Amino acid sequence: MPKGALARAEGIVVQWGQALEEEKAVEINLQANVLGANAAIAQGLREEFARRGVYSINLISSPGAGKTTVVERLCALLKDKVRLAVIEGDITTSLDAERVARYGIPVHQINTFGGCHLDARMVERALQSLDLEGTQLLLVENVGNLVCPADFDLGEDAKMVVLSIPEGDDKPAKYPATFRRAAAVLLNKIDLLPYFRFDLARVKRELVAMNPQQRLFETVATTGQGMDAVVAWLVDEVQRKQKAAGITR
Ligand SMILES: Nc1nc2c(ncn2[C@@H]2O[C@H](COP(=O)(O)OP(=O)(O)OP(=O)(O)O)[C@@H](O)[C@H]2O)c(=O)[nH]1
Ligand SMILES: [Mg+2]
């Protein structure tokens, strides 16, 4: 198709969002530099997590899908099993960190002041005030967004994406980069399935096709329904990580 052309697919006009060649070259260079610098810091974090036997989760979703509710539920279910720490990412408030702090779990709030995602440098700084000594599981709640967080490695072991029923069943198809990279997807707010047009079987098929290794969980984070399976998976991963670091408790 010629550059900048309009394609007519089944009567729908689709414009390709193409920048001019020069603009594109500058943008690609800039993006490569930013991502390269982030990857180097993320690698440092990954090495530190490996040395300490910390299993780390990068929790991603649209705003309001239920990330903090999932974190709260995990705090309640896991606090007697593993030693947890939480980093909360938010544009301006500390509301999510306040929710987590009620569980007596060490928590640090990062405010991005407009930034649509966390980056490795932010996590590195957060760890200066969050003592990781003895921590076995680090949960990092990213800024609510299904686009930007996917590109920024935080040194995590796994990306966990929360997709809630009211968002609609087209989200994996619309945001494939995020869903493809997820080690686990929580299909949350399953209690709302009767009230929304959401083809659960199709979404599951699409997710499996994108990433056959991916774990799928159906959850109601508010009540804890389905969360035991998530807990069992995480406990397993934590034990594996601790063993690899030569830590026996
Ligand atoms: N019905 C139902 N509501 C839920 C469920 N999980 C979370 N919620 C509700 O969804 C709303 C948003 O939940 P949060 O946990 O704050 O969502 P979040 O993804 O952390 O939101 P941001 O941090 O703003 O991106 C709250 O009112 C929760 O009580 C669920 O499984 N079922
Ligand atoms: Mg939240």
- What is the per-residue pLDDT for 31? 76
Distance 235 CA to ligand 1 centre (A): 23
Domains of the chain by start residue, with CATH: 17-244 (3.40.50.300)
- What is the per-residue pLDDT for 7? 54
- Other Cβ atoms less than 10 A from the Cβ of 52: the count is 17
Token look-up 């686990």 returns 184
Token look-up 């089944």 returns 10
What's the pTM? 0.92
Mention every residue, 6+ apart, whose C-beta is less than 8 A from residue 49. 55, 56, 138, 155, 157, 241
Please provide the distance, in angstroms rounded to a whole number, between the alpha carbons at the two ends of the chain. 61
- What residues of the chain score a pLDDT lower than 50? 1, 3-5
- What is the per-residue pLDDT for 9? 56
Which of 222, 225, 227, 230, when mutated, tests ligand 1's pocket best, judged by the most ligand atoms within 8 Å of its CB?
A: 222
Q: Which is it for strands 184-188 and 137-141: parallel, antiparallel or unpaired?
A: unpaired
- What is the per-residue pLDDT for 1? 47
**Token couple for 218:** 């159906």
> Of 17, 12, 14, 64, which Cα lies nearest the Cα of 171?
64
Token look-up 């690698």 returns 43
- What is the per-residue pLDDT for 4? 45
